[in-house]
Structure 1
Amino acid sequence: MTSKRFWPIFWTQFFGAMNDNVFKNALVILITYQATSVMGLRPEQMVALCGGLFILPFFLFSAIAGELTDKFPMHQLVRATKILELFIVCIGTIGFCFNMVPLLLLCLFLLGVQSTLFGPVKYSILPELITEDELVKGNAFVEMGTFLAILIGTITGGLLIAGNHGALSVSVTTVIMAIVGVAFSFQVSSIATVDSKRKINFNIFSSTVEIIKISRKTRSVFISILGISWFWFFGATLLSVFPVYVKTGLYGDEHVVTLLLAIFSIGVAIGSVICEKLSHERLELGLVPFGSIGLSLFVLDLYFAGALPSTEVARGVTELLGVKGIYRILFDLMGLSIMSGFFIVPLYTFIQTRSERNERARVVAANNILNALFMVASAGVLVGLYALGLSAIDVFLALFVLNTLVAIYIYTIIPEFLLRFVCFILTRMIYRLKVDGHKHIPQEGPAVLICNHISFVDWLIVASSVKRPVRFVMHYSFTKIPFVSFLLRGAKVIPIAGTKEDPKIMDEAFVKIKETLDEGEIVCIFPEGQITKDGTLSPFRPGIERILADSNVPVIPMTIYGLWGSFFSRKYGHAASELTVIPRRIWSKVIVDIDPAFAGDQVNAKILEEHTLQMLTRKK
């Protein structure tokens, strides 16, 4: 937040999101309490129209916005969109001061257009401004800022329009915030153009179809986009249920609705920051399943908490806090919103890091289109649930069922998420992982990692220690074990066998290793070829030499220290043979040591074995 690379875009986004919600909520309250009608529409229909007008541009113009972001310098687009926002709210002052609702509706639509144009820039510019190590933190702060801005803007808009000289107060406030946003936008660092020769397709429909196709090129990226879109479906449904739930379940007044909105927004902000702390400067996909499980459990408990005792007079916030059972409900809501932060921050980071630079903005645009589609679908589903006779509390149960089904679907088709979840549990809850030598892992390009073999979870420890995806070479027999085989598929493990066991599998493994290294990926092998039975280092087999003969790539030595004697080692015979070892080793420290790389043409199995032995001796 003190870095010139980050704070200008953060505050530009913050004041933009806050301004949108000040304007929108002030307009909604103006329409509601003045019983305003346009073209014969009732006030409640007008309120629904406001939501539709703001979100419609995301369907219409996101594709074009993505192409513009790729074609023009992003910092210039940031400034242009903020100047556009200032122009729109200046027109809006006329609408507020002269009570011209049709003009205000037009301005709301134009603010939606401005947000649509800014959306791809907001997420595409982050990887250009900050390092990959900072990207999770950057996204966490952006999500925190967005939800706090929504909360502050919504409350501010309502308070201003309801006060004396409400129209003038809203007008002045929106103009001032737009000016502040413009000022911050001119502090954003200059960014080189991604694809200046790109031709913009202004056909709304064909450009949208093209962008959706681009987002589907990498399957895991597209599934992540669907995951983010599901979050907005879940959140939009929840926020739409709040007023009905407060009235019919909590028997509270409109101030209680604001309380629930505040808790939800603050919870997402807190969850985003906690997510960054747990990620330890890396993309931690293991938090996504953690978040989705939390969403299901907390929304289910909201259902079981049920309704509070009825009352003839609607309760205010003070009265509500004195009712038995309310703190369980508030705890569930806070937990649910914190888990939302765990869910979305890694997914946003994932689509940024796994998308090609020259396509990133269009992938973000596709994400915005699908987000908007899912939010509209949530309204339709909610109407359908109410039509079936479900109460607001019953909707919580429906969300639990839907969220659980979505989670099962995502983690079944992309095992990498579940793999990262297992790694997270292992290295954050069962063990305390400490990694020395992160800097020796190259940020890009091929390399071979070699590591001592202490236990059956060594590969999970290595996967948790290295910030880049790692392809492991592992005995083929492990690919036949239920559930383990599922995790191995997520890690894209390369199965191998001994020469006497199956020469064909062995030869295919070395071919696959060469292909993987040629593609610039990292491969990890355990040169001992077996898990130690006495805690000492076994002789290295010559497989590493065959790999280096085919691919002259750097070799990076690693050692794992602290797993000998654990539940997963062979100190007590077969792994997991003595359950009594679990209590003694829970939360014990595991250290991964990474040394500088050797040139591939300067080492052999013996040299690497001796160096690994020296590394292990260093720790004793």
Structure 2
Amino acid sequence: MSSQFSLLGQRRFLPFFSTQFLGAFNDNVFKTALITMVSFKAISFAGFDGKQLATILPGLFILPYFLFSATAGQLADKFEKGRMIRAIKLLEIAIMALAAWGFIANMLWMLVLALFMMGVHSTLFGPVKYSYLPQHLGEHELVGGNGVVEMGTFVAILLGEIVGAAIVSVTDSGLPVAALVMLTAASGWGTSLGIPASPPAAADLRIGWNPVTETLRTIGFAHKTRAVWMSLLGISWFWFYGATLLAQFPNFAKESLGGGEVIFILLLAVFSVGIGFGSLLCEKLSRGHVEIGLVPFAAIGLTVFGIDLYWAIPATPLAPGASLTQFLQYGAHWRMLADIALIGISGGLYIVPLYAMVQTRSEKTHQSRIMAANNILNSAFMVASAVLSLMMFKFGLSIPQVFLATALLNAVVALYIYTLLPEFLMRFVVWLAVSLIYRIHSQGSERLPRQGAALLLGDAVRPSDTLVILACSPRPVRFVMTEASLRNPLLGFVLRQNGVILVPEGESLDGALTLERIREAIAEDAVVAVFSGDPKVLPGALTALPADIRRIDTTLRTSRRKGLFQAARITFAETA
């Protein structure tokens, strides 16, 4: 994990990280102070009670994502990102001035307006945030960089929620919150001054201001690449899941657990720390590239621990206003906290690979607009979360039952996504099998091309050893193999999903039909792996293939199993 933290010492990353950290902190100080105020101080507004307001207000914050993301994505692609971030931070100062006035004057309508405007601010910042990283980080740094950003975001959320809730719980004066949000907004603008320039991706882009047509067009950009679209849906689904939990935590702490603000803060802390830890863990588990095999693994965790959370919640809450010490005396509460932490860890493992996949597989000239599409989908899913939660409450479900329904629904959504894009499931099988069987020492994996055709060449390997090569490759690898090599159902599934090139029965690797299939794969910019035990076969066969194709000698050596794992050493060396 040390390599990803080294980014914090570099100008291309630290000012940007600090700016987004302060922005996330400020958002959540303000939001949590407002939600805590309406949840615990018996405040009503426009006919809604505190429980309903706690559900509606987060939806109001994310509504601008749905309305204005398409325009924000165009602006982020057209203009230099450093300058745009500084302009957004000046807008934040103005909005926080409005919020400060609302807190000091105790004017709820003004705070609600400021909450909506902070949603506008975050809508503008989102596409810049995620399209900035691919411009300043190498592909091998993206998983680690995204992990640090997500960790920082959720630590900022945690601190903001704790501080916002704590201030409201200890004083009825709005002055402390007002002063803090103004100071933080000004600090965010200060750190943004150090963000380096980022050349615009589409300087000639003509901005379309019609929100309906541009939203549809932006969604269309995202839909062009199936893997990107499925990744965006996966990210948005997690925000549905997370929004459902977070929106109910205040009343869950109060009604289901019998606690007050301190218990609410504890729930937030455990969940946020879990996501931060899971985000950092991604680089360790990804072997230096974008590993989407972590996503199904994490989805299992979201369902399993979500179901166990329901069963862990005590049937009878503590006496109203129970202290933290009283709360922690019950073993059932520790199990519940463990479930919340594991849901958070699963969430971090879930979203970081998906963000990195979107960044690496989307067109560079449309990257901000793709991230804007992500914001549109996120907003739609989070509004749907608020609406569905309200509907379940209307039908008499309790908060724990809402948590259970969300965990079960997660399993359905995950199966749907993996049915439409089996690559996720295939990478999960590869990642899990390799993690359980091998300890890999890889050298030269950076030579594997991120795009374009390539040939991996080497001596014959066992069919099961192809998993090691797949685990080290950031892209699918099309192996040239016989039908007999696919007899193992699991291995056959993996290789077929990668587009295995079958050698016709009775033909060798240098046969005419096999070479024709290899040429077709190369024409499609695929990575093709040809491993032969006969040193006379490959040279003759390769003369029939284009001479300008990148050729990478691949050497794989596996040792006998010692203890639990088998050692595998793999080297990639590009040939002239």
- Uncovered stretches (5+) of structure 2, i.e. residues with no partner: 1-7
Q: Which amino acid is 2:409 matched to?
A: L
- 2:144 is the counterpart of 1:132: no
Q: Decide whether the 8 Å contact of 1:432 with 1:587 is kept in 2.
A: yes
Structure number with bigger Rg: 1
Q: Decide whether the 8 Å contact of 2:236 with 2:374 is kept in 1.
A: yes
- 2:410 is the counterpart of 1:414: no
Deviation at 1:178, TM superposition (A): 1.0
Q: For residues 42 and 321 of structure 1, what CA distance do their matches in structure 2 show?
A: 30
Deviation at 1:302, TM superposition (A): 1.8
- 2:119 is the counterpart of 1:123: no
Deviation at 1:486, TM superposition (A): 3.1
Deviation at 1:33, TM superposition (A): 6.2
- 2:564 is the counterpart of 1:586: yes
Alignment of structure 1 residues 280-429 onto 2, 5 Å: 280-307=287-314, 309-429=316-436
Alignment of structure 1 residues 72-471 onto 2, 5 Å: 72-164=79-171, 166-307=173-314, 309-471=316-478
Q: Decide whether the 8 Å contact of 1:433 with 1:589 is kept in 2.
A: yes
Between the aligned residues of both structures, percent identity stands at: 40
Q: Which amino acid is 1:555 matched to?
A: R
Q: Decide whether the 8 Å contact of 1:429 with 1:587 is kept in 2.
A: yes
Deviation at 1:192, TM superposition (A): 0.8
Residue 540 of structure 1, aligned match among 523, 535, 542: 535
Matched residue, 2:555: 559
Matched residue, 1:17: 24
Deviation at 1:126, TM superposition (A): 0.3
Moved more, 182-191 or 241-250: 241-250
CA gap 1:324/1:162 in 2 versus in 1, 3 angstroms: closer
SS at match of 1:362: helix
SS at match of 1:540: coil
Q: Deviations over 1:280-316 (max 9, x none)?
A: 3211112111111111221122233242555444422
Deviation at 1:46, TM superposition (A): 4.8
Deviation at 1:414, TM superposition (A): 1.7
Moved more, 67-76 or 119-128: 67-76
Alignment of structure 1 residues 58-73 onto 2, 5 Å: 58-73=65-80
Deviation at 1:200, TM superposition (A): 0.9
Q: Which amino acid is 1:149 matched to?
A: A
Deviation at 1:38, TM superposition (A): 5.4
Matched residue, 1:511: 516
Q: For residues 393 and 565 of structure 2, what CA distance do their matches in structure 1 show?
A: 48
Q: Decide whether the 8 Å contact of 2:169 with 2:261 is kept in 1.
A: no
CA gap 1:319/1:237 in 2 versus in 1, 3 angstroms: same
Q: Decide whether the 8 Å contact of 2:55 with 2:386 is kept in 1.
A: no
Q: For residues 83 and 188 of structure 1, what CA distance do their matches in structure 2 show?
A: 15
CA gap 1:326/1:103 in 2 versus in 1, 3 angstroms: closer
Matched residue, 2:529: 524
CA gap 1:60/1:491 in 2 versus in 1, 3 angstroms: same
Q: Which amino acid is 2:59 matched to?
A: G
Deviation at 1:104, TM superposition (A): 2.5
Q: For residues 307 and 551 of structure 2, what CA distance do their matches in structure 1 show?
A: 49
Q: Which amino acid is 2:550 matched to?
A: P
Q: Decide whether the 8 Å contact of 2:127 with 2:372 is kept in 1.
A: yes
Q: Which amino acid is 1:598 matched to?
A: T
Q: Which amino acid is 1:559 matched to?
A: T
Q: For residues 182 and 321 of structure 1, what CA distance do their matches in structure 2 show?
A: 41
TM-score (norm 1): 0.86
Q: Decide whether the 8 Å contact of 1:447 with 1:522 is kept in 2.
A: yes
TM-score (norm 2): 0.92
- Uncovered stretches (5+) of structure 1, i.e. residues with no partner: 529-538, 567-583, 600-620
May I ask how many residue pairs the two structures share in their alignment? 568
Moved more, 282-291 or 380-389: 380-389
CA gap 1:243/1:21 in 2 versus in 1, 3 angstroms: closer
CA gap 1:499/1:541 in 2 versus in 1, 3 angstroms: farther
SS at match of 1:549: coil
CA gap 1:500/1:172 in 2 versus in 1, 3 angstroms: closer
Q: Which amino acid is 1:344 matched to?
A: I
Matched residue, 2:4: none
Q: For residues 555 and 498 of structure 1, what CA distance do their matches in structure 2 show?
A: 27
Deviation at 1:452, TM superposition (A): 2.5
Q: Which amino acid is 2:531 matched to?
A: F
Matched residue, 1:609: none
Q: Deviations over 1:85-117 (max 9, x none)?
A: 112212332232223333332222111111001
SS at match of 1:467: coil
Deviation at 1:439, TM superposition (A): 4.1
Deviation at 1:425, TM superposition (A): 2.0
Q: Deviations over 1:182-238 (max 9, x none)?
A: 111111111111111111111000100111111110111111111111111111122
Q: Decide whether the 8 Å contact of 1:415 with 1:489 is kept in 2.
A: no
- 2:62 is the counterpart of 1:55: yes
